[in-house]
């Protein structure tokens, strides 16, 4: 496959996606806010010096996203086959709001900027490179339907499902992921037009043992708490099989479609 870009590659799922794709021989453009402090990513780069390109990208800065897109075009050519947006925060405090008294305008704005606005701006600047991609992801499924398309994956969460919300709370995180799902559906329509189509999906990785969810692991059954390796393995199985008919949809780690 052609190059893959991972936004939020310094830790957790983003780092594991970078590791798994590099192990396949894929060129990975691994983007993060602070490359100098990304020890795990630098270690991975030393293992795969010809495959890992570490690029500075602060997803909250449109200028930084544009600069990263220019770097990719100049360094790797004018085509991408895969973009995965991984960066996310529960809220600036690191904990989800349990009631209205915990809500603040600043925290809502900051959470939406990372979780929703950032991935949409990524699509704005990297969309043309994806439209030029060869769609080597999901090659077997694509060839069966004679459909070749690059893929955008927005890392969502089940708690972003309006239809599945029975507990409430976590206002900023839930709302930002619901909005991300809408952005994904919109992108699937715009980038699904014409000859140069791009598949756009939202994926829920399950409850993963990362810093984001760690404060809430106490009530998670052991068999439902995934390592990053487990989760990325499940998600890559889904990504590998994607076709145009999957675009605009919202899937769990098990491949089951989630209600918006």
Place of tokens 């929703």: 116
**Quick check: 139 pLDDT over 60?**
no
Mean pLDDT of 166-191: 97
Q: What confidence score (pLDDT) does residue 30 get?
A: 98
Q: What confidence score (pLDDT) does residue 208 get?
A: 87
Tell me the pLDDT tens digit for each residue of 62-110: 999 999 999 999 999 889 999 999 999 999 988 889 899 999 999 999 9
Give residue limits of the domains in the chain: 4-252
Asked whether 130 and 198 are in contact (CB, 8 A), the reply is yes
**Quick check: 120 pLDDT over 80?**
yes
pTM: 0.91
Q: Which residues, 6+ apart, have CB-to-CB distance to 202 below 8 Å? A: 153, 154, 155, 156, 160, 180, 181, 184, 249, 250, 251
Class of domain 4-252: alpha beta
Tokens of 191: 């980038």
Q: How many CA atoms lie within 13 A of 70 on its CB side?
A: 6
Q: What confidence score (pLDDT) does residue 95 get?
A: 85
Of 206, 83, 120, nearest to 156 by C-alpha is: 206
Q: What confidence score (pLDDT) does residue 141 get?
A: 47
Of 205, 195, 189, 191, nearest to 239 by C-alpha is: 205
Question: Could you tell me which residues are beta bridge partners of residue 31?
Answer: 7, 55
216 vs 163, more confident: 163
Say how many C-beta atoms besides its own lie within 10 A of residue 138's C-beta: 26
Tell me the pLDDT tens digit for each residue of 195-250: 899 999 999 999 987 766 666 666 666 667 899 999 999 999 999 999 999 999 99
Tell me the pLDDT tens digit for each residue of 6-47: 999 999 999 999 999 999 999 999 999 999 999 999 999 999
Mean pLDDT of 140-148: 49
Q: What confidence score (pLDDT) does residue 210 get?
A: 77
Mean pLDDT of 186-196: 94
Question: Could you tell me which residues are beta bridge partners of residue 202?
Answer: 154, 250
């Amino acid at each position: 496959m052609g190059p893959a870009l991972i936004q939020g590659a310094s830790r957790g799922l983003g780092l594991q996606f970078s590791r798994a794709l590099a192990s396949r021989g894929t060129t990975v453009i691994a983007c993060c806010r602070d490359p100098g402090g990304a020890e795990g990513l630098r270690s991975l780069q030393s293992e795969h010096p010809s495959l890992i390109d570490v690029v500075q990208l602060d997803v909250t800065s449109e200028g930084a996203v544009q600069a990263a897109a220019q770097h990719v075009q100049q360094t790797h050519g004018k085509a991408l086959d895969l973009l995965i947006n991984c960066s996310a925060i529960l809220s600036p405090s690191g904990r989800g709001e349990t009631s209205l008294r915990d809500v603040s305008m600043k925290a809502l704005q900051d959470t939406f900027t990372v979780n929703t606005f950032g991935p949409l701006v990524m699509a704005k600047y990297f969309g043309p490179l994806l439209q030029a991609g060869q769609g080597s992801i999901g090659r077997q499924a694509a060839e069966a339907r004679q459909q070749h398309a690059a893929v955008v994956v927005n890392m969502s969460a089940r708690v972003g499902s309006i239809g599945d919300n029975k507990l409430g709370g976590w206002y900023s995180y839930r709302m930002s992921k619901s909005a991300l799902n809408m952005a994904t559906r919109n992108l699937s329509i715009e980038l699904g037009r014409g000859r140069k189509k791009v598949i756009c999906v939202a994926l829920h990785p399950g409850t993963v043992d990362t810093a984001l969810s760690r404060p809430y692991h106490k009530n998670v059954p052991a068999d439902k708490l995934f390592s990053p390796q487990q989760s990325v393995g499940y998600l890559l199985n889904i990504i590998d099989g994607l076709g145009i008919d999957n675009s605009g949809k919202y899937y769990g780690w098990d491949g089951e479609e989630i209600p918006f």
